[in-house]
Structure 1
Amino acid sequence: MPDVSRETEQKFTRYIEMLHEWQARMNLVAPSTLPHARQRHIEDSAQLIDLIPRNFQVRCWVDFGSGAGFPGIVAALMVSADVHLIESRTKKCTFLQAVVDELGLRDRVTVHNQRAETMTAPKADIISARACAALPTLFDWGHGFAAQHTLWLLPKGKGAAAEVDAARREFDFHAAFHPSRTDDEARILAVRDVRRKGKRR
């Protein structure tokens, strides 16, 4: 687990309890991952924090397709930023809001029951998305949220390189591949300076 305060660790524990409680009512995560939720979901999300440069100021974090709150809720517990959780499915938004309320995050975390492409976008320092959409689609959704300094942190499976190749047909960007600490086949993409081909900032 990440090195966090006792209070934050207690909030992670309560979050996992709520995941188990609500999973009986709705499909929040793959059932096979539930017994290993700490590693498969909490630790998998928390490793993104280590990829943020030390001098990089995070004031606004936008998480696409938040689902059960990974990585957005985990980020909110570890980073002092305003976090926007964007999720189009109403049932999952109900769960997300319950977690936000239970963990005392209402002052910094906003749940948006919307599709990302329909939103009026806050400018983000960090954009994240986990198991949400292919890279070209994420860049298409995110162009309104991104500023020149925005860092995209995107956990991807073994097809990460192919997604990068596909995205380069429409977008210019700088991407670095980082190994995942929770899945040997996965990679985390740290992406900067995303711009649609033919357009200049």
Structure 2
Amino acid sequence: MLSEFVDAKDRDDCLARICRMPRVDGSRLPLLDAYVAALLAETSHQNLIARSTISNVWSRHILDSAQLINLVPRETRADSWVDIGSGAGLPGVVCAILLPKCEFILVEPRVKRVEFLRCVADRLALTNICIEASTVQNVVRNRVDIISARAVAVTDKIVAIAGHLADADTYWLLPKGRGALAELDGMVMPHAFHVEHSVTDPESGVIVGTIPSLSGKSGS
């Protein structure tokens, strides 16, 4: 089993860091173990995460996802969250586990990924998750408080395809790896974004912020 290759110290260190995060419901931490077990089991059947990241799955994927919660300003509402291209549930499932009072809409068009997400949501009784088997352009919702997208597309494109779900107060969380600053400098759309350094890789960044010009145009 792939779980045998997981670094136990990495797990313990990551859980300790996640537990100290504001907003996080510490009673939900055991569900992260259940999610990791499901993630590794399914990785044997489909390529959800790279095999090279299995030993440090906690820092590379779980903490890397959970840190987004810490990047949401204290004054920003966190009642609704759209995760674009959820794939294996990173960061959507991780953040949904830790924020049970927030409604999560996980948007994923690939059939096998959707089946996995539905299985995990059912097995872990994650009643705050709704899975949209679609592209984000086809999702019809009222504006949401938070939008995330991990390794999906460049920021200008993400805003273009998901802007109908946002307004000026929607907070965007866009992990970008080591090209975050360069991508931010190249953006065309007016924005109030900046880059936060990743806690799992000091050379990587997360583009975060708002787009004041957005008014929110989606239906209910």
Does TM, normalized by the shorter one, top 0.5?
Answer: yes
Question: Per-residue deviation at 1:185?
Answer: 1.8
TM, length-normalised to structure 2: 0.83
CA distance in 2, matches of 1:146, 1:55: 17
For the residue of structure 1 that corresponds to 2:178, the secondary structure is coil
Q: Report the equivalent of 1:185.
A: 203
Q: Distance in 1 between matches of 2:167 and 2:71?
A: 18
Q: Please state how far the C-alpha of 1:56 moved relative to its aligned partner.
A: 2.0
Q: Quick check: 1:53 aligned with 2:73?
A: yes
Q: Is the 8 A contact 1:178 1:189 kept in 2?
A: yes
Question: Per the alignment, in what secondary structure is the counterpart of residue 211 of structure 2?
Answer: strand
User: Quick one: which amino acid aligns to residue 200 of structure 2?
Assistant: T
Partner of 2:56: 36
Residue 133 (structure 1) aligned with residue 153 (structure 2): yes
**2:25·2:98 contact (CA, 8 Å) conserved in 1?**
no
With normalisation by structure 1, the TM-score equals: 0.91
Q: Which runs of 5+ in 2 are unaligned?
A: 1-13
- Supply the distance in 2 between the matched residues of 1:6 and 1:189 (Cα, whole angstroms): 26
CA distance in 2, matches of 1:132, 1:101: 25
2:107 and 2:136 in contact (8 A); partners too: yes
- Structure 1 residues 99-138: aligned runs within 5 Å: 99-105=120-126, 107-138=127-158
Matched letter for residue 203 of structure 2: E
Once the two structures are TM-superposed, the CA of residue 153 in structure 1 deviates from its matched residue by: 0.8
Cα distance in structure 1, aligned partners of 2:83 and 2:162:
10
Match of 1:16? 36
- Alpha carbon RMSD of aligned pairs, Å? 2.0
Partner residue of 1:82 out of 103, 106, 111? 103
Deviation at 1:194, TM superposition (A): 5.2
1:164 aligns with 2:215: no
Equivalent pairs: percent with the same residue?
Answer: 34
Partners of 2:175 and 2:205 within 8 A in 1: yes
90, 113, 117: which one aligns with 1:92: 113
Number of residue-to-residue matches in the alignment:
196
Query: For the residues of structure 2 that align with 1:136 and 1:115, how far apart are their CA atoms?
Result: 16
Instruction: Provide the secondary structure at the position in 2 that maps to 1:137.
Output: helix
Report the residue type matching 1:40 in the other structure. R
Contact 1:40 1:182 (C-alpha < 8 Å) held by counterparts:
yes
Q: Which amino acid aligns with 2:149?
A: A
Shift of 1:5: 5.6
Quick check: 1:129–1:153 contact (8 Å CA) kept in 2? Answer: yes
Q: Contact between 1:175 and 1:190, CA under 8 Å: does it hold in 2?
A: yes
Deviation at 1:166, TM superposition (A): 2.8
5+ residue gaps in structure 1? none
Q: Stretches of 4+ moved more than 6 A in 1?
A: none
